[in-house]
Structure 1
Amino acid sequence: MQSYSCFKAYDIRGKLGAELTPQIARRIGRAFAEGLAAKRVVLGRDCRASSQELAEAVAEGLLQAGVEVLDLGLCGTEEMYFATTALAADGGIEVTASHNPMDYNGMKMVRRGSAPLDSASGLAAIKALAESGDFAPDQPGGVLRDASAVRAQFVEAVLGFVDVSALRPLKIVVNAGNGAAGPTFDAIAQGLGTRGAPLEFVRLHHDPDGSFPHGIPNPLLPENQPATAELVRAVGADLGVAWDGDFDRCFLFDAAGNFVAGEYIVGLLAEVFLAKEPGAGIVHDPRVVWNTQDIVATAGGRAIAARTGHAFLKQTMRDTGAVYGGEMSAHHYFRDFMCCDSGMIPWLLVVELIGRSGRSLAELLELRRAAFPSSGEINFRVQDVAAAVAAIEAIYAPQAQGRDDLDGLSLEFGTWRFNLRASNTEPLLRLNVESRGRRDVIDTAVAEISALIAAL
C-alpha cells in the first residue's frame, strides 16, 4: 500500500511530482466521494499552473464514483465554502496551495454544510482509502456541471455583512498578488458600486497569473509587503488590502503604508461584532491573546481560545455559537458565513468601521498597539521540534506565573508571555512574544529565546 505524505492535519499539501500527482489527486477525489458517501460535490481551483490539471483529475475520481460535480472553475477557497452550502452539496474541494512554494499544490476540503474535515471527522478515512485504492466498482450517473454562476450569490452574501450607507469616501489599494482574488474582487466592487458605495479602488498585480511574476502571494512575508505599502503612499490611499493566493486571508496596511499585524485586526473585528451582538462569543487562537481578551472583556463578550488551524477554529465556533473567530495569521471566521473563513468580509467590515467612527485605521489601532505590543511570528528550522520545545520549557517553565498547553507551550510572566509551537503545515518551530506595554521586554525575550534555540 502506498503512503500519501500530502495529507496534513486538516488539508492536503505536497510537492508536485513527488507527493502530489494527477494520479494521486484522482484517487483522493474517488476516496472523498466514497468516504463521505457523497452524491454532489463542489470543486474549485486557484490559478497555479498545476491546479487545472489536478482539479480535472479530482473530477475524474468523483465522476467514477457517480458524483454530480459542480465546477466553480477559478475561484477562492471561501467561494467553495459558500457554494457547498448554497448548492446543498455533500462536500467541497478547492485545489490550492495558497501561499506555499511554486512546486507545491494541495486541496482544502469540507463536508456537508461546509463543516471542517480533519482526521477525526473523516480525513483519516479518506487518506486510508486513497492509499489502498480499494474502491467500490465504478458507479453510473457521474456528471460535470458548470456552477460558476453561484458567484453572484456569494457576492450578495458577502455584501450582506456591510451597511453601505455607513461608508464614507475612501481610496483603497487592493493587491491580489496575481492570485485568484482579482475576478472575485471585481464582482464585489461592482456590487458596491451598484449600491452607491463611495469607494475608489487602485488595483495592483490584479490579474491571475500562475507564474506569479511578483512572487508567491503571501503578504505575511516582510519582503512581499513593500509593493502594497509603496503604492498606498504613492497614491495617497486611506488603506491597503492584500490577499494570499486563494484569498481566504487578507492583510491590511494603514495610510502610511504600515503593515497591520493580524492580532490587531482580530481585536477590531471582535469590537465590531460585540457592538452588534453584546455578550457574544469571540474565538481566538492561543498565540497572541492579550489584546483580544482585553477588548472582549471590556465589551462584555466571551473570549474563547481554540487551537491554531482552520478546522479547530471552525469546530470551536460551531460548538460554542461564537459570532466571530480570528487568528493572528489573518484567517477570520464568521458564524453567519458557515463558520468559515473569508478574505473579503474582513476588509469590508474595517472599511465600515472607519466610516462609522470617522477615524483612520491608524487611529483605530494606535492605543491597542501601544497597550499590547507583540513580536510578530518568528520561525525557526530545527532538527527536532519537540526537543527544542522541551529545552525551552525546562528553562522557562519553573519561573512562569501561568501556563497553557492548548496549542504548543504558552508561558506567562506577569508583564509578558510567549507561545512556542510546531507548525501544523510546515516543518517549523514558531515563536510569538507579547507584553503589556513593554516593547523592551519583548526585544529581550526574543533575543534570549532565539539564542537558546540557535544553540540547540
Structure 2
Amino acid sequence: MTTLTCFKAYDIRGKLETELNEEIAYKVGRAYGQIYQPKTIVVGCDVRLSSESLKKATIEGLNDAGVNVLDLGMTGTEEVYFGAFHLDVQGGIEVTASHNPMDYNGMKLVRENARPISADTGLKEIQALAESNQFAPVTTKGTTTPYNILPEFVTHLLTYIQPERIQPLKLVVNSGNGAAGHVIDALEAQFKQLNVPVEFIKVHHEADGSFPNGIPNPLLVENRASTSEAVLEHQADFGIAWDGDFDRCFLFDEKGQFIEGYYIVGLLAQAFLIQQPGEKIVHDPRLVWNTLDVVEKYQGTTVQSKSGHAFIKQIMREQNAVYGGEMSAHHYFRDFAYCDSGMIPWLLVAALLSETKQSLSSLVEDMIAKFPCSGEINFKVADTQTVIQRIFDHYADQKPEIDKTDGVSLDFGAWRVNIRASNTEPLLRLNIELRADQATRSLESYVDEVSKLITA
C-alpha cells in the first residue's frame, strides 16, 4: 500500500509527479465519490499549467464512482464554494496550489453547503481509501456537464454592497496572472450596466499558469511593488492584490502602503457592525487587541477561534457569526456559507469609503497607531515545542496572562506575544502587538528580544 504524502491538515497539496499526479487525482475523485455518494458535485481548477489535467483525472474518478459533475472550468476556490452552496449539488473540489511554488499543485474539498473536508472531517478517510485502492465496483457511471457559474457568482457578490451608493473610485487590481481576472472583468461589466462609477487599473491581469511575474503571493514583500507603484502612478483610491486562487485579498492604501491583514479584520468588523449592531465577530488569537477594541466600540461581540479555516468556519456556524477574520487575509462571511472570499472584502471596503467619505489610510491610521504590530515573522526551528517552552519559562516570573487557544499567547498588559507552530509548514510563527499608550519600549525591541530566544 502506498502512503500518499499530499494529504495535509486542511487540504491536499504536494510536489507534482512525486506527491501528486493524475493517477492520485483519479483516486481522490473515486474515494470522494465512494465515501460521500453525492448525486452531483461541482469541480473547478486554477490557472496552473498542471491544473486542467489533474481536474480531468479527478472528474474521471468521480464519474467512475457514479457521481455527476458540473465542470466549472477555470475558477477561483470561492467559485467552487459558491457553487457548492448555491446550486443543487452535494459538494465541490477545486484543483489549486494557491501560492505554493511552480512545481506544486493540490485540491480543496467541501461537502454540501460548502462544509470543509479537513483531516478531522473526512480527509483521512479519503486518504485511507485512495491508499488502499479498494474501490467498490460501480454499475452506473456519472456524467460531466460544463457549467458557467460566473453570472450567478457576480450577482451574489453585488448583494454585499448597495451599488447605487458607491462614490467614484479608481482601483488598482492585481490578479498576479492568477484566477481573479475573469471575475473582475465580469464585475466591471456589471458596474458599467448599473452606472457604478468605479474605474479599474489592471495589473498582471491575464490568466497565465506560467506566472511570468512570479507566483501570486502578496504576503511576500518582494511581490508588493507592482501593486504599490501602480496605486501611486494612477493616483488610485486603493489597490487590491490576490493570491493564485483569489481566496485571499491584500489591500494597499492610496499612498501605496500595504495594510496588514490584522487591521482589515477590524475594518470589516466595523463595516458589518455599522449595518448590523450586536452581531458576533470571530477572530484568530495571533493579534487581537485592535479587533476587540473595534468590535466593542461598534457594540458587537467577539469570539476567539483557533487559526485555520476549518476551526473558524465551525465556530462561526456554532455562533451564527456574521463575519470572521484572520490576520493572514482570510475573511469569512455568514452569507457566503461561512466560507472565505477574496472578492467580498474589497467590495465592502469600497462601500465603507463611499459611506464615510474617508480615505483608506485615514480609516486604518488610528488602529495602526493605537495597536502597532510586528506582522507574522516565521522561523525555521528544529523543535517548535522546545522553543515555545523556552519562551514560556523566560517570561514566567513576569506573570503574563496566558492563553493556549492556539500555540501560546502571553499578555503583559502593555505588549502581547503569540507564538505557534504552523499548521501547514515546518515553521514557528511569531506575532507581537503593543498598546501604544502603555508601552515603554519600541515594538522592535520586543521583536528582537523574542527573536533571540527563538534562535538561541
Q: TM-score, normalised by structure 2?
A: 0.98
Match of 1:209 in 2: 208
Residue correspondence of structure 1 range 101-250 to structure 2 within 5 A: 101-148=101-148, 150-250=149-249
- 1:193 deviates by 1.8
1:110 aligns to what SS in structure 2? strand
Retained in 2: the 8 A contact 1:397–1:411? no
Which residue is 2:402 aligned to?
Answer: 403
- CA distance in 2 between counterparts of 1:327 and 1:77 reads 17
Please name the residue that 1:45 is paired with. Answer: 45
Q: Name the CA distance, whole Å, in 2 between partners of 1:361 and 1:311.
A: 30
Cross-structure match for 2:454? 453
Identical columns (%): 54
CA distance in 2, matches of 1:255, 1:87: 38
What code does the residue aligned with 1:73 have?
G
CA distance in 2, matches of 1:139, 1:294: 59
Over the aligned positions, Cα root-mean-square deviation in angstroms equals 1.1
Aligned partners of 2:4 and 2:388: how far apart in 1? 27
C-alpha contact (below 8 Å) 1:375/1:432 kept by paired residues: yes
Structure 1 residue ranges without an equivalent (≥5): none
Contact 2:70 2:145 in 1 (8 A): yes
Structure 1 residue 285 displacement after superposition: 0.8
Compute the displacement of 1:397 (Å): 3.8
Spell out the pairing of 1:7-406 with structure 2 (5 A cutoff). Answer: 7-148=7-148, 150-406=149-405
C-alpha contact (below 8 Å) 1:101/1:216 kept by paired residues: yes
Residue identity matched to 2:47: C
Q: Which amino acid aligns with 2:265?
A: V
Aligned length: 454
Q: 2: distance between equivalents of 1:287 and 1:34?
A: 39
Structure 1 position 340, deviation (Å): 0.6
Provide the rounded CA distance (Å) in 1 between the counterparts of 2:138 and 2:440: 62
Amino acid at match of 1:177: G
| Aligned-pair CA distance for 1:398 | 4.0
Structure 1 distance, partners of 2:405, 2:188, is: 40
Quickly say closer, same or farther: Cα 1:400–1:28, change in 2 above 3 A. farther
Q: What is the Cα deviation at residue 88 of structure 1?
A: 1.9
Conserved? CA contact 1:274–1:301, under 8 Å:
yes
Deviates more, 1:386-395 or 1:219-228: 386-395
Comparing 119-128 and 410-419, the one that deviates more: 119-128
Question: Which letter maps to 2:244?
Answer: G
Deviation track 1:118-177 (CA, whole Å, cap 9, x = no partner) reads: 2222112111111111111134131111012x2111100001101112211111100000
The alpha carbon displacement at 1:440 in A equals 4.2
Q: Tell me the equivalent position of 1:418.
A: 417
Deviation of 1:272 (Å): 0.9
Displacement after TM superposition at 1:53 (Å): 1.1
Task: Letter of the 1:271 partner, please give it.
Answer: Q
CA contact (8 A) 1:81 1:110 kept: yes
Structure 1 position 22, deviation (Å): 1.1
Deviates more, 1:441-450 or 1:40-49: 441-450
Q: Distance in 2 between matches of 1:408 and 1:310?
A: 16
Query: CA separation in 2, counterparts of 1:195 and 1:184?
Result: 16
Structure 1 position 102, deviation (Å): 0.9
Encode CA deviations 1:52-79: one digit per residue, 9 max, x unaligned.
1111111111011011011001011000
Displacement of 1:293 after TM fit?
0.7
Which consecutive unaligned segments of at least 5 residues does structure 2 have?
none
Structure 1 CA distance, aligned partners of 2:46 and 2:440? 39
Q: Deviations over 1:85-127 (max 9, x none)?
A: 1222111000000001111111111110111112222112111
Q: Deviations over 1:268-308 (max 9, x none)?
A: 11011111111100000111110001111111111011111
TM-fit CA distance, 1:400: 3.7
Cα distance in 1, alignment partners of residues 231 and 25 from structure 2: 40
Task: Report SS of the residue matched to 1:223.
Answer: helix
Contact 1:416-1:441 at 8 Å conserved across structures: no
* Aligned mates of 1:104, 1:400 — CA distance in 2: 44
Amino acid across the alignment from 2:453: L
Residue 4 of structure 2 is matched in structure 1 by 4
8 Å Cα contact 1:32-1:126 kept in structure 2:
yes
Q: Which runs of structure 1 show a deviation greater than 3 angstroms over 4 or more consecutive aligned residues? A: 438-441
Residue type matched to 1:250 in 2? C
Per the normalisation by structure 1, the TM-score is 0.98
8 A contact 1:99–1:216 mirrored in 2: yes
Matched residues in 2 for 1:136 and 1:435: separation? 57
> Do the aligned residues in 1 keep the contact of 2:37 with 2:67 (CA within 8 Å)?
no
Measured in 1, the distance between the counterparts of 2:399 and 2:412 equals 5
User: Mean Cα displacement is larger for which, 115-124 or 253-262?
Assistant: 115-124
Deviation at 1:34, TM superposition (A): 1.4
SS for the counterpart of 2:172 is strand
